[in-house]
Structure 1
Amino acid sequence: MLNGGTYTGRTARRRRAGAIGAAALAATLGLAACGSGDSGGGGGTASGEDLECSVDAVADQPWKASEPREFSVLWTDWPDYPVTDSWQFFDEIEKRTNVKLNLTNIPFSDATEKRSLLISAGDAPQIIPLTYTGDERQFAASGAVVPMSDYVDYMPNFQKYVEEWDLGDMIDNLRQADGKYYMVPGLQEVSVPVFTLIIRQDVFDEVGAPAPETWEDLQTGLEMIKAKYPDSKPLADGFEGQSMINYAAHSFGTVGGWGFGTGAWYDEDADEFVYAPTTEGYKQMVEYFNGLTEAGLLDTESFTDSNDGGGTVTEKIAAETVFAASGASGTVQEFATALDAAGVTDYELKQIAPPGGPAGMVVEPRNFWNGFMLTQDAVNDPNFCDLLQFTDWLYYNPEARDMIQWGVEGETYTKDGDTYTLNPEYTHKQLNLNPSGTIDIKKDLGFANDVFAGSTESRALKESYNVPAFVEYIDSVLSTRTPRDPFPRAPLDEAELEQSSLLATPLKDSVDTATLEFILGQRDLSQWDSFLSQLEGQGLQQYMDLINGARERAAEKG
């Protein structure tokens, strides 16, 4: 447990014991990779089959280029944690790997747009972090990024953890129309939703509310809280509804919010994709939240707030007019800090597994987090082999993952098994670790930064910096919830991608607008069929024909 910056984790669970031996054997024999513990191969070509690297590498081992290298990276600037040239993070990378990172900076506020412009213009740096699955599609179709599947044989750490954590099928699902995948994701040993509900457990207990295992349970509890605190609107989101709709949708048998993606939902019985908002599950979800609005249980302001869950909802938590809200593990600390500042005592905040619904106790599959792409110009770098090996080390090697999250062992922290302890002079204020420390490992030194931290994590590392309550959350999800199966592949070719984009954007705009209007009571639910007709008039059938055609092609290829 956490105490002054110390966390005692648990032995990481293995999903498939047999995979460990196979991965270890592959690592011992040496995968066809590009560098070694103290030497690296130069020279690269545009073809994975033609690429030759001089020295084999081994997973889980240190890696260092034989000569100083410089690689460029797209760096997103978070306003609260501005990057500085003096960050020890960059010095430590250079010390360990002989690689200097040259940054191209873009602001967080419009990072997606800036990234697209740079890549499309051919002006982007080599390494594109913070890439989520699906982000790569447009760039893959235009040939602007590297087909990473051509080169994963040269990435021993990536291969080991894909195998050890049984993620091969999910990786295959990333393949585009040409059979290749163009990004490699961050890998997570355990699949738990990042965002879920955070509740005032003490208040639920106070009114005798049931543990909210289902959305019906939650409504019952909210009604009891409303009776006790009539001025409250006890449930809030704070992310324009996108967060709550996302984690609720799976238990209603649909997708929505942040997880809407293409909007395609796979109907197993019909063996085809359908548009999620046309499903009965989507309508049931909208009706449920509309009912909360009508009963005065939903803070409607938080469904139009675009402050990323910040001030407004946090203030209402502190003012005790909201008692359940969307958030991640760090949000618990934000809420606690606000309650402390407001003089609220004897409270208990609990991060709960997303409630179940009509489709069952189902959550989104979450074994991937943000990873990276390489721009096409990277293959022309004479040190492309070292670039592959470096990114493999940075994203997937346990040594790098510890360094990114905690800093330098023996200097900023000590480690004993799965126990990580910040040294007394160091703090991680955002997570309230060693609050009396004077040097913030994130703000002052650049460790635990938002560009690379958390991308790939074993269960032990994930637990290492989180409070014991988050460990309980992981346990509750793993023991009581079932991740939804990944959908079949439906990769579009370049022409189809362009055509589908022209259709998908106005369709999604209509869905986002109507969903909030129905939930907030601004549009009567009797107009649901009219809404569906609106989608049909925007080319919905044509759009779904494109997706189902792609699914059929992919199924035929196997």
Structure 2
Amino acid sequence: MVHLSRRQLLAAAGAAAVAGMAGCSDDDPESVDLNEKRAGAMDGYKAGDQFKATEPLKFSIMLLSNQAYPYKPEWPFWAELTKRTNVTLDPVAVPGSDYDQKRSVMVSAGNAPLLIPKTYHPAEEAYIAGGAVLAVSDYTDLMPNYSDKVKRWNLQANLDTYAQEDGKYYLLPGVHEGVWQDYTLAVRTDILSKLGVPMPKTWDDVTTMLREMKKAYPSQYPLSDRWSTPPQPGGNALISIVGQGYGVNSGWSWNPAYWDATAGRFAFTGATDQYRQMLQYLAALVSEKLVDPESFTQTDDNARQKFASGKSFVMCCNAQTLVKEARKDIAKLPGATVAKIPLPMGPMGASLPPDNRLENGLMISRKALQNKNFVAMMQFVDWLWYSDAGQMFARWGVEGETFTGKVEDASFKLDPKVKWSGLNPDAAKDLQVDYGYSNGVFAYGGSTAMLNSQFSKEEKAFQAEMNKRTIRPVPPGRPLTVEEREQATLQEAALRDHVDQQTLKFILGQRPLSEWDAYVAELKGKGLDQYVGTLNKAYERFKGKK
């Protein structure tokens, strides 16, 4: 998950300016004759069809090379993709640690690949003003699988949150049929059994659990967390999942715009009472020495070492890290067991935010519109990222070679010789490392059946519990004009910087929460009222167009 620091936001603003000077294309989408861009395209292509270009095609793509499964040109994925589609992808492989910066440099210089995946909204907004990226919403009629899923899964309200002032959006997101909650706490269940503590259901229960652990092990911090890199609250997972229970997008789920449905207006997240309550909860845990204060600054390796050595018993996790890391880390501790617990509930009760139905997605370079194969490229994108068959291929590979059965009737099984996450953990081959399938660049989104196909029985039980929760309404759209966005980006950077700094101080007890009003006044001095005013002006304008 990627969120922008102040430095990244300022760099993004600079990128937009450079892109503007570069002027990637003079083409007006409304005047483009697509009949001249159909080389290699299929006639009558519709949802459910196998896309295959009518002539061999090659498209460049920016490829995030994941540290866990670095890019290999010999992956079977590449040859099989060409066999099925008559399209060869030409990857520009970039390490994950450099991906955002490299993308900014390449897009700004006008030499980015045609396809630019692994982009998290609103990162695409930095490139809109200069015309560097395509208004993809203008061309979704060329994408029948995508359009079908948006309609059947009622995703238009979610997409409205991506829309710009011109009513268009510039990022093709991964789309989920339902809300998927993955991140939560991993807890040493053997310790719970030893202490006679029940599995916590609420954040208050978590406090009770941690207190009992502290009584039994007074020299230790029960919870010492990971995922605080870069070392700032803005990149913190614990703040994110606690914030969900209070109804705010905090930590690495940060969204500065808080929709107050009662008032019918947007507010600034970091100045809301809900944010204050979330900070109060975390500060109490730290003050009681139930949470390691290093949880908000330490590296993942340090957190994992503490968990592996038995110095801590709780940390954030997802389904993959539970199996691939946490369980392996404690394997040398006699009798140690660990499990994901259902995401604890807070004041918002048994509910989940609506925003994870859209996932990281794909930008398309504006220069693609000059390509005679443009229509074929859009059909290819539609098949690989949005068709059931394309998603099945990208995630699981080839039937009879890496899997058997179907996800729709739950007969799917990963081949015994292949492992992935918690499936076939002792198999000799790895689906990602050795085959190139289940690569996060291509395999995301999809139906609930597709999602469930990757889960062990344990994770399916977790998801069944999450599916019992209600989904909160999607906030309304508030698209900004180019001028508003430029100003708001700078204002948000200054506000976010201060929120991050003071969040850490409040949580660690370096600043008392009795100074909350003074903190809000400091935010106002950094442009809070102007920023919120811009959001609400944009909302009223957008509402009038609906």
Give the TM-score, by structure 1 length. Answer: 0.86
Q: Which residue of 1 aligns with 2:113?
A: 125
Q: 1:152 aligns with which of 112, 137, 140?
A: 140
Contact kept, 8 Å, 1:136 with 1:182, in 2: the verdict is yes
Name the counterpart of 2:16.
none
How many Å separate the matches in 1 of 2:86 and 2:28?
22
Q: Is residue 273–residue 548 contact of structure 1 (8 Å, CA) maintained in 2?
A: yes
Residue 419 (structure 2) aligns with: 427
Change (3 A) 1:436 1:238: closer
Q: Residues 469 and 49 from structure 1, CA distance in 2 versus in 1: closer, same or farther, beyond 3 angstroms? A: farther
Residues 198-251 of structure 1 show CA distances to partners (whole Å, capped at 9, x for unaligned) of 222332243233432211111011111111222321123312252121122132
**1:472 aligned partner:** 461
**Matched residues in 1 for 2:311 and 2:336: separation?**
17
Structure 1 contact 146–373 (Cα < 8 Å) conserved: yes
1:350 Cα offset (Å): 2.6
Q: Distance in 2 between matches of 1:363 and 1:404?
A: 28
CA deviation vs aligned residue, 1:252-300 (integer Å, no higher than 9, x gap): 1322111212x11111222111111211111111011000001010022
Q: Which residue of 2 aligns with 1:39?
A: none
Shift of 1:172: 2.8
* Preserved CA contact (<8 Å) 1:243 1:326: yes
Supply the distance in 2 between the matched residues of 1:209 and 1:189 (Cα, whole angstroms).
Answer: 36
Q: Which moved more, 1:527-536 or 1:266-275?
A: 527-536
1:235 partner SS:
coil
Contact 2:422 2:456 in 1 (8 A): no
**Residue 326 (structure 1) aligned with residue 319 (structure 2):** no
Tell me what 2:350 maps to: 361
Task: Give the Å deviation of 1:45.
Answer: 8.3
Confirm whether residue 113 of structure 1 aligns to residue 101 of structure 2: yes
2:34 is aligned to: 51
1:463–1:173 CA distance, 2 compared to 1 (3 A): same
Q: For residue 381 of structure 2, what is the amino acid of its counterpart?
A: T
Separation in 2, partners of 1:174, 1:384: 23
Map of 1:48-447 to 2, 5 A cutoff? 50-52=33-35, 55-240=43-228, 242-261=236-255, 263-305=256-298, 307=299, 310-333=300-323, 334-340=325-331, 342-345=332-335, 347=337, 349-365=338-354, 366-416=356-406, 417-428=409-420, 431-447=421-437
Rounded to whole Å, the distance in 1 between the matches of 2:158 and 2:364 is 20
Contact 1:185 1:370 in 2 (8 A): yes
1:381 Cα deviation after fit: 0.8
- Amino acid across the alignment from 1:218: V
The 1:117/1:424 distance shift into structure 2, 3 A limit, reads same
Matched-pair contact (CA < 8 Å) for 2:157–2:476: no
- Cα distance, 1:274–1:436 mapped onto 2, change above 3 Å: closer
The residue type equivalent to 1:473 in the other structure is: F
Structure 1: tracts of 5 or more residues without a match: 1-43
Do residues 513 (structure 1) and 504 (structure 2) align? Answer: no
TM-score, normalising length: structure 2: 0.88
Question: 1:497 matched to which residue of 2?
Answer: 485
Render the CA deviation track for 1:411-445: whole Å, top value 9, x for unaligned.
122225423333344333xx143344333221122
Q: How many residues align?
A: 505
1:535 is matched with which residue: 506, 523, 541? 523
Contact 1:354 1:363 in 2 (8 A): no
1:488-538 residue CA offsets vs partner (Å, 9 max, x unmatched): 111111111111111111110110111011111222223322222221111
The whole-number CA distance in structure 2 between the counterparts of 1:406 and 1:529 is 53
- SS of 2:129's partner is helix
What is the letter of the counterpart of residue 47 of structure 2? A
Contact kept in structure 2, 1:45 and 1:379, CA below 8 Å: no
Query: Residues 139, 291 of structure 1: CA spacing in aligned structure 2 closer, same or farther, 3 A cutoff?
Result: same
Question: Residues 269 and 435 (structure 1 numbering): CA distance in 2 closer, same or farther, change over 3 Å?
Answer: closer
> Counterparts of 1:346 and 1:276 in 2: how far apart (Å)?
39
Aligned equivalents of 1:160, 1:46: Cα separation in 2: 23
Tell me whether 110-119 or 352-361 shows the greater mean CA deviation: 352-361
Instruction: Tell me the CA shift for residue 50 of structure 1.
Output: 4.5
Which has the higher mean CA deviation after the structures are superposed, 456-465 or 496-505? 456-465
For residue 241 of structure 2, what is the amino acid of its counterpart?
Y
Aligned CA-pair RMSD: 2.0
1:482 positional shift: 2.5
Question: Hey, what's the Cα distance between the residues in 2 that align with 1:222 and 1:346?
Answer: 17
Post-superposition shift, 1:449? 1.5
Equivalent residue letter for 2:453: S
Provide Cα deviations, 1:3-35, integer angstroms capped at 9, x if missing partner.
Answer: xxxxxxxxxxxxxxxxxxxxxxxxxxxxxxxxx
SS of 2:53 mapped into structure 1: coil
State the shift of 1:82 in Å: 1.7
Answer whether contact 2:144 2:382 (CA < 8 A) is retained: yes
Partner of 2:472: 484
In 2, Cα distance between equivalents of 1:464 and 1:232: 39
Q: Percent identity?
A: 36
For 1:452-511, what per-residue CA distance to the aligned partner results, in whole angstroms no more than 9, with x for missing partners?
Answer: 22x2222222222222121111111111x2333221111111111111111111110110
Whole-Å separation in 2 of the counterparts to 1:210 and 1:444: 41
What secondary structure sits across from 2:244 in the alignment?
helix
Contact 1:255 1:276 in 2 (8 A): yes
What amino acid is aligned across from residue 434 of structure 2 in structure 1? D
> 1:193·1:364 contact (CA, 8 Å) conserved in 2?
no
1:546-557 alignment to 2 at 5 Å?
546-557=534-545
Deviation at 1:346, TM superposition (A): 5.4
Contact preservation (8 Å) 2:422, 2:455: no
Cα distance between partner residues in 1 of 2:368 and 2:486: 25
SS at match of 2:88: strand
- Whole-angstrom CA distance in 2 between matches of 1:346 and 1:204: 11
